Structure 1
């Protein structure tokens, strides 16, 4: 079995990366996309094993995704194929400010029809970390229930559970329902990784320390808060119940495309947890992978190998950060 497992919706990513609009373009580079897919690629490139749980259609998109994962060394044993629905895809239009426009073709996709019974056939032996995100949870009631069952099963087998809320408000009936469902899932997890604005929305608190306390009081072991482009902070409690915090700055880079930065950050944090790195080294690695990712137009192609990551950390200037 693999060290890391994740569940999500991998998609074929068509990119309009020229000066033309996507309506004018006649050729579109094809890559892969999906929040959890990006995390899996990041984990694999840093030298760790990872498996992916999902449902794909019996179509060329599904074949392409399975082939890509296999070639990347991602375990696909827990991927179902279905002839009843298509594999999702997306079109990304790269804009000059680094914040692209993304158009999704995923409604009613095969992944959105994943049901909790997919968990019944999973071998959890040797699993150390399960990573989940709020994207797959938001697709449908059945995908949320699937994540809940997978989280429960992973914890029963002794795995650590990491959770990036990665909110998609348009996929929920209301913001209130999104907040309630996200916090319910957070309470089941060991490591919660929101951006500061996300943590403020989900907790109803403003200060980063208060956001962290909200989730630590809930039973979460570690709260890792992304502080935008400036850096990140990790909060936990010591044996006396006192809050312990670590704040680490990010790196100076030229931003090309912001998509996938949080996923890169998560892959850095996950591999640091696997290697039992101290809090400052964990945040340094997570910040570095996120910073490297924004220098690439692809959602995951820019994610670094271990050697590239170490060189970047050693040779790239740092920013300043404070809470």
Structure 2
């Protein structure tokens, strides 16, 4: 089967065509969004095989998502359909700088109604990595238990499990619940990839070293921290019990839209790991793809092919 498995909620996105408050925008462009979907796209474009697991509605949005994934050469054999709930969607505005406003219409969506039936026929043979985030488990109690079971199944079949917290406070009953449940999931995984601000939120600690040690002390094998304009940092426990740290600076690029940068980073880290690159190169690739993504309005249009990535690395300089 595919090298990488992932599970998440795909959403149709309507991106404002003009830089105005959403209430004043008349025209939107239809696109596609979803953190895990972005990672799957990034990996597929880099030449890695990916299976995407989810549930969509039996509706035009669900068909649009499946067709889009097939065009991106992402395996859709684990996508189920339901006529009992609609496919979720979101609308996003344009901004001159910083984070755009995103409004979600996902409550009661098809993905949030997914059950463990989705896991019944998963074939792990030939797969190397399962990638999960904190979003799908936040959709419902059932999706949370599904995610835990899928992680356990992956480990039983010898897969590495990577985890991006991707906090979505609006999906949780409280911040306390979000922190508690997300950390439970993180500590079940092999590689945890928080952003620096996320790491501080989830651990209550203030430095990248402290955040890494928090998860390493809970049994995680490697922590990779996104540092925004400062680059990225990783710390890994080796088989002999020793630790190795690495750090890389970021690239100097014009920022158009920050959404999707973390997903691009994750695709870079996972692909470089699959290819056996060293820690410095893993971080460099993550930084590069994250930088390429922030140069684009879409959540995923900046995700490159391997040729596009190599051209970027030749063209853009790292910050001193």
Distance, in Å, in 2 between the alignment partners of 1:25 and 1:200 is 36
Where in structure 2 are the equivalents of 1:137-156 lying within 5 Å?
Answer: 137-156=137-156
Distance, in Å, in 2 between the alignment partners of 1:204 and 1:297 is 33
Cα drift, residue 229 of structure 1: 1.9
How many residues align structurally?
A: 320
- TM-score, normalised to structure 2's length? 0.97
Where in structure 2 are the equivalents of 1:112-131 lying within 5 Å?
Answer: 112-131=112-131
What SS is found at the alignment partner of 2:232? strand
Residue of structure 2 equivalent to 1:165: 165
Where in structure 2 are the equivalents of 1:48-127 lying within 5 Å?
Answer: 48-127=48-127
> Structure 2: which 5+ runs fail to align?
none
Runs (4+) off by over 3 Å:
19-26
Distance, in Å, in 2 between the alignment partners of 1:314 and 1:223 is 28
Q: Given the superposition, is the C-alpha separation of residues 81 and 308 from structure 1 closer, same or farther in structure 2, using an over 3 Å criterion?
A: same
CA contact (8 A) 1:116 1:147 kept: no
Q: Given the superposition, is the C-alpha separation of residues 21 and 196 from structure 1 closer, same or farther in structure 2, using an over 3 Å criterion?
A: closer
Distance, in Å, in 2 between the alignment partners of 1:71 and 1:147 is 27
Cα drift, residue 196 of structure 1: 1.1
Cα drift, residue 199 of structure 1: 1.1
Cα drift, residue 239 of structure 1: 4.4
Please give the per-residue CA displacement for 1:36-78, whole angstroms capped at 9, x wherever unaligned. 1111110011110101100000000000000000111000000
Distance, in Å, in 1 between the alignment partners of 2:140 and 2:16 is 29
What SS is found at the alignment partner of 1:67? helix
Where in structure 2 are the equivalents of 1:235-274 lying within 5 Å?
Answer: 235-274=235-274
Residue of structure 2 equivalent to 1:178: 178
Residue of structure 1 equivalent to 2:229: 229
Choose 11-20 or 304-313, whichever is displaced more.
11-20
What SS is found at the alignment partner of 1:53? strand
CA contact (8 A) 2:17 2:25 kept: no
- TM-score, normalised to structure 1's length? 0.96
Distance, in Å, in 2 between the alignment partners of 1:148 and 1:229 is 33
Residue of structure 1 equivalent to 2:204: 204
Distance, in Å, in 1 between the alignment partners of 2:308 and 2:129 is 24
Distance, in Å, in 1 between the alignment partners of 2:99 and 2:263 is 15
Distance, in Å, in 2 between the alignment partners of 1:80 and 1:240 is 43
Distance, in Å, in 2 between the alignment partners of 1:97 and 1:246 is 30
Q: Given the superposition, is the C-alpha separation of residues 9 and 239 from structure 1 closer, same or farther in structure 2, using an over 3 Å criterion?
A: closer
> Structure 1: which 5+ runs fail to align?
none
Distance, in Å, in 1 between the alignment partners of 2:21 and 2:187 is 43
Cα drift, residue 238 of structure 1: 3.3
